[in-house]
Amino acid sequence: EALLDVEAVRRDFPILQSSVCGKPLVYLDNAASAQKPQSVIDRLDRYYKEQNANIHRGVHFLSQEATVAYEDARKVVARFINAAEPKECIFTRNATEAVNLVASSWGRANLKAGDEIIISTMEHHANIVPWQMLRDELGVVIKVVPISDTGEFLVEDYKALFTAKTKLAALCQVSNSLGTINPAKVMVEIAHQQGVPVLLDGAQAIAHLPIDVQDLDCDFYVFSGHKLFGPTGIGVLYGKADLLSAMPPYQGGGDMIDRVTFEKTTYRGIPERFEAGTPHISGAIGLATAIEYVEQLGHEAMIAHEQSLLKEATDKLLEIPGLRIYGTAGDKVSVISFTMDGIHPNDAGTILDADGIAVRTGHHCTMPLWQRFGLEGSIRASFAFYNTREEIDLLVTGLGKVQKLLG
Ligand code: PMP
**213-235: per-residue pLDDT in tens?**
999 999 999 999 999 999 999 99
Number of the ligand 1 atom closest to the C-alpha atom of 32:
8
Residue 203, ligand 1, Cβ within 6 A: yes
Name the closest-CA residue to atom 6, ligand 1: 203
Distance between Cα 126 and ligand 1 center (Å): 6
Cα separation, 245 vs 155, in Å, equals: 31
**Residue among 395, 400, 373 nearest 382 (CA):** 395
- Residues 336/402, Cβ–Cβ less than 8 Å: no
Residue 29, ligand 1, Cβ within 6 A: no
Q: What percent of the chain has pLDDT over 90?
A: 97
Confidence of residue 2 (pLDDT cuts 50, 70, 90): low
Residue 126, ligand 1, Cβ within 6 A: yes
Distance between Cα 73 and ligand 1 center (Å): 21
Catalytic residue among 21, 89, 172, 365: 365
Residue 28 DSSP symbol: -
Per-position b or e across 223-243, b if 16+ CB within 10 A of its CB: bbbbbbbbbbbbbbbbbbeeb
Answer yes or no: is pLDDT of 333 > 70: yes
pTM of the model: 0.98
- Residues 220/243, Cβ–Cβ less than 8 Å: yes
**Predicted pLDDT of residue 1:** 44
Amino acid letter at 139?
A: G
Omega of the bond prior to 24 within 30 degrees of 0, cis? no
> Is 365 a known active-site residue?
yes
Cα separation, 49 vs 110, in Å, equals: 45
Of 101, 182, 201, 335, which is best to mutate to test ligand 1, by the most ligand atoms within 8 angstroms of its C-beta? Answer: 201
Q: Which of 54-58, 66-70, 105-109 has the lowest mean pLDDT?
A: 54-58
Residue 365, ligand 1, Cβ within 6 A: yes
Residue 92, ligand 1, Cβ within 6 A: no
Amino acid letter at 28?
A: L
Residue 176, ligand 1, Cβ within 6 A: yes
